[in-house]
Amino acid sequence: MAKKFFVVPVKKREEELRAAFWEQIKSIPRGDKIQNCIQCGTCTGTCPVSYMMDITPREIVALFRAGHLEDILHSRAIWICASCYSCRVRCPSGILVTDLMYALKRLAMNKKIYPPKFPVHALSKAFIFNIYKYGRNFEIGLAIRYFLKADPKKLLASTGFGFAMIKKGRISLLPKSIKKVKEIRAIIDKAKQLEKEGA
Amino acid sequence: MEFAYYPGCSLENTGKPYDMSIREVFKSLGVGLREIEDWNCCGATMYMSVDKIVGFAVSARNLALAQNMGLDICAPCSSCYTTLRKTNRHMEWNLHSRKLINESLKAANLSYEKMVEVRHPLDILVNDVGIDKILSACPYEFDGLRIAPYYGCMIVRPVFDFDDLDDPMTMNTLFSALGAEVVDYPDKVRCCGGMLMTTFEEVALNLNNHLLQCAEDNGAELIATTCPLCQMNLESYQSQINRKFNLNHHIPIVYFSQIVGLALGISPAKLGMNTLLIQLPNLKLKSKASRVAV
């Protein structure tokens, strides 16, 4: 093989992660458009929460190009994205930035790489636990499960508004399961199996 | 006109007034809503972060159930609306995924082949029923009630087919027709933070503070929303926002369907007005007949 010049050697770990990332990207419509990023920063400018991100959406693409995918996965940024789709409708290169964020979240979950002291992924985990168990989301159960893991102090802080909502009949204390919960579990099990085989 | 009704998990709990008012308004206008039997959670933004095919398959079960009813879906929750539509688009775009999703559905003896449309009730009311028909059914009209229309993210993004992406006007037109005064609301499509209120409160409180401030600065007496999560964030965190920023926000957050329901003469209790945490001090409703008499 001809030797390439000016190409920084990529570490093996990074190479593995990149392969997994491209696998995720392939499943997004127009996923390969990430290569067309012109680094204009419109995504960052239009993002309502970028001011709190440790690395901005534009920087995420830049870091990816520079071979720092693992750093991206360690960042809080991908978990701060609220999925409002502002960037997606604005990107002049037609990159589906929000879906890119989801792909990064999935990769992080898959490889169990999370930002330190920021267990936001636990909410997604608690959420899918509820769906498997009841077929529907159980709001108060979700909040308790998440806060116990992430920030138990918050549980106490939220009781005030929780009581108000209970009094108004807007929070039920018992989960409501769908009738055919076995059906939903069968679908999830089968889809998981197919996804694993595909990966 | 009939739709398969997909309330979604929020409308069973925190979004109860939304569910109550949608059902009442549709009934009153003669639009059928048949709840999808034994529907499940759409997966929201959460499943997308974990497993893609699983997330779509969970969502597609509802689409398959509606397809079997032979009806298009009416989904009031903006998050459900986006997730279900995203599943549709994905299955159209990626035939391989479509096969995998259908194989998963087969585990429950379901299949989803004939795409059903997913519609937002605001779209149905204004574009299918039509403002003229709504007006002719309304015995009341508003008398100078100042409303800030808040559209939030997901009914105009990522795909905007029934309204403008930057400056949606559906609610503006509807409320003006009902006699209300719609105030200028430049933040109408800015994000409320959604689940960030749980995961990163600091950011979400800031976002919601902006939304409330913008409405108040423009003289709104209330904010009308189209999404249960926006409603909850804006309404139930006002006291926390006040404490954090040393402010005095106290503005009712209602659903657009409650506004329509009031003009239709449906009793406030049936529309769930009494379940709001911040009550509307004055509905400013007057009967249309009185205007004719004058």
Crossing angle between the packed helical segments B52-69 and B78-93, to the nearest 10 degrees = 100
Contact A85 B10 (CB under 8 A): no
* Biggest alpha carbon–alpha carbon distance for chain A: 73
User: Do residues B75 and B134 share a domain?
Assistant: no
User: Do residues B104 and B178 share a domain?
Assistant: no
pLDDT at B45: 78
pLDDT-above-70 percentage for chain B: 98
What is the pLDDT of chain A when averaged over all its residues?
A: 88
Contact A184 B40 (CB under 8 A): yes
pLDDT at B293: 47
Peptide bond preceding A115 in cis form (omega within 30 of 0): no
CATH code of residue A59? 1.10.1060
pLDDT band at A12 (very low <50, low <70, confident <90, very high): confident
pLDDT band at B215 (very low <50, low <70, confident <90, very high): very high
User: Do residues B147 and B259 share a domain?
Assistant: yes
Asked if pLDDT for residue A162 goes beyond 50, the answer is yes
Mutate to test the interface with B, among A188, A192, A196, A197 (most CBs of B within 10 A): A188
CATH code of residue B100? 1.20.1050.140
Considering the domain boundaries, does residue A3 fall inside one? no
- Give B274 to chain A, closest Cα distance, Å: 8
Whether B240 and B206 have beta carbons less than 8 Å apart is answered as: no
pLDDT in tens, A16-45: 999 999 988 887 888 889 999 999 999 999
What is the number of domains present in chain B?
A: 2
User: Do residues A96 and A127 share a domain?
Assistant: no
- Find, in chain B, the residue whose alpha carbon is nearest to that of A48: B191
Contact B50 A83 (CB under 8 A): no
User: Do residues B239 and B201 share a domain?
Assistant: yes
Contact A165 B160 (CB under 8 A): no
pLDDT band at A149 (very low <50, low <70, confident <90, very high): confident
pLDDT in tens, B18-76: 999 999 999 999 999 999 999 999 998 777 778 889 999 999 999 999 999 999 999 99
Considering the domain boundaries, does residue B124 fall inside one? no
User: Do residues A107 and A135 share a domain?
Assistant: no
CATH code of residue B174? 3.40.50.11810
How large is the ipTM? 0.91
Closest CB from B43, B89, B158 relative to A89: B158
pLDDT in tens, B225-249: 999 999 999 999 999 999 999 999 9
Asked if pLDDT for residue A10 goes beyond 80, the answer is no
Contact B157 A150 (CB under 8 A): no
Considering the domain boundaries, does residue A143 fall inside one? yes
Contact A190 B190 (CB under 8 A): no
User: Do residues A40 and A72 share a domain?
Assistant: yes
- Identify all chain B residues contacting A189, using CB atoms and an 8 Å cutoff: 107
User: Do residues B245 and B179 share a domain?
Assistant: yes
- Identify all chain A residues contacting B47, using CB atoms and an 8 Å cutoff: 124, 127-128, 131
Domain boundary among B91, B119, B147: B119
User: Do residues A63 and A153 share a domain?
Assistant: no
Contact B51 A190 (CB under 8 A): no
User: Do residues A77 and A139 share a domain?
Assistant: no
pLDDT at B294: 42
User: Do residues B208 and B267 share a domain?
Assistant: yes
pLDDT at B225: 98
- Give B5 to chain A, closest Cα distance, Å: 16
- Joined tokens for residue A157: 């802080």
User: Do residues B166 and B235 share a domain?
Assistant: yes
Quick one: three-class SS letters along B139-180?
A: CEEECCCEEEECCCCCCCCCCCCCCCCCCCCHHHHHHHHCCC
Residue A1's alpha-carbon distances to A4, A67, B14, B220, in angstroms, are 9, 22, 62, 69
Considering the domain boundaries, does residue B201 fall inside one? yes
Mutate to test the interface with B, among A144, A190, A192 (most CBs of B within 10 A): A190
Considering the domain boundaries, does residue B77 fall inside one? yes
- Give A50 to chain B, closest Cα distance, Å: 10
- Identify all chain B residues contacting A83, using CB atoms and an 8 Å cutoff: 45, 48, 153, 194
pLDDT at B86: 93
User: Do residues B77 and B198 share a domain?
Assistant: no
Contact A49 B50 (CB under 8 A): no
Domain that holds residue A76: 12-111
Considering the domain boundaries, does residue A4 fall inside one? no
Whether B42 and B8 have beta carbons less than 8 Å apart is answered as: yes
Contact A52 B200 (CB under 8 A): yes
Domain that holds residue B94: 2-119
pLDDT in tens, A114-139: 998 888 888 888 898 999 999 999 88
User: Do residues B74 and B137 share a domain?
Assistant: no
User: Do residues A17 and A96 share a domain?
Assistant: yes
Asked if pLDDT for residue A3 goes beyond 60, the answer is no
From the list A127, A165, A26, the residue with the least C-alpha distance to B94 is: A26
3-state SS, residue A46:
helix
- Identify all chain A residues contacting B61, using CB atoms and an 8 Å cutoff: 183-184, 187
